[in-house]
Amino acid sequence: MTSTPRRIAYQGEPGANSHLVCQQAYPDWEPLPCASFEHAFAAVENGDADLAMIPIDNSIAGRVADIHHFLPTSSLKIVGERFLRIQFSLMALPEASVDSLRTVHSHVHALGQCRGVIRELGLTPVVAGDTAGAAREVAESGDPTQAAIAPPLAAEIYGLQVLRADVEDEDHNTTRFVVLSRDFEQAPSGSGPVVTTFIFNVRNLPAALYKALGGFATNGVNMTKLESYMVGGHFTATQFLAEVDGHPDDPDVRNALEELAFFTTEVKVLGVYPADSFRGA
């Protein structure tokens, strides 16, 4: 009897960077492409998928829009993280050549991260919904004047030839992904480097944020992320997303979180998960 493969949802079309990192991290799982981040979250929440692989930060573009708003309201928890070095290729139909190209299609961020090759070849950029979708559209067009900038995996899937590899402007272009699950599976304490992600709302008092964060300094806890967001359209109500090195069961982290709770109206842990080896590198 053949067992049903487990499924991991991602936003984008087959061949996207999210698809690639799913293959690398969960090679035996079935990737489930979703039209939007909201659909990827829903796929896990309703049981269509077991996990979701969601980008959260990029070393060039910064935080990924919308994700930080979905996380606090979702029932899903972070159970892991992965880092992916972003590599883009310039691809076109098998009969195309560099000299035949006139336009290049891709996601707006990818176009912005590959300005050098676009300028060198004198191509007109055309914004597409995502990188892999641009590759699919070029394949379907039958037009040798069109090219796409997309991950190399997209060329394999859609039968395109790679005319230029590694066309990204910066070789440090890296995206961090978080793995989301319905189940709150905390990494065990003492089993290696751990990241704790949480959100909190500060009380509307003078120096409330300063006092709330003081416990992390006095307890020697390294905070690696702190980002603020408006809540409900109110300029006085601010929510923060934070990440620290360590486990909530560690005495220093536990003491810092207890002090944080004293100066906040809400503290919600979104995940306690193993730190990816990329952090050490």
* Phi, psi of 20, rounded to the nearest 5 degrees: -60, -45
- Which of 41, 88, 131, 175 does the annotation list as catalytic? 175
10-residue averages of pLDDT along the chain (281 residues):
80 95 96 95 97 93 80 92 96 97 95 95 95 97 97 97 96 94 93 94 83 94 90 72 96 96 90 93 67
- Angstrom CA distances, 134 to 106, 108, 160, stand at 5, 11, 12
Instruction: Round to whole Å and give the CA distance between 20 and 44.
Output: 19
Looking at the DSSP bridge assignments, the partners of residue 274 are: 194
Looking at the DSSP bridge assignments, the partners of residue 164 are: 90
Q: Does 197 participate in catalysis according to the annotation?
A: no
Instruction: Find the largest Cα–Cα distance for the chain.
Output: 66
Where is 26: in which H helix or E strand? none
Provide the CB-side half-sphere exposure for 88 (13 A, CA): 33
Rg of the chain, C-alpha, whole Å: 21
Looking at the DSSP bridge assignments, the partners of residue 125 are: 104
Q: Which pLDDT tens digit goes with each residue over 42-57? A: 999 999 999 999 999 9
* Phi, psi of 252, rounded to the nearest 5 degrees: -70, -40
pLDDT of 3 reads: 61
- Given 3-state DSSP classes, what are the helix, strand and coil percentages for the chain, each rounded to the nearest 5? 30, 35, 35
> The whole model's pTM is what?
0.90
Q: Which pLDDT tens digit goes with each residue over 107-146? A: 998 999 999 999 999 999 999 988 999 999 999 999 999 9
Instruction: Round to whole Å and give the CA distance between 239 and 250.
Output: 25
Q: Does 131 participate in catalysis according to the annotation?
A: no
- Which of 37, 88, 177, 240 does the annotation list as catalytic? 177
Indicate the length of the chain as a whole number: 281
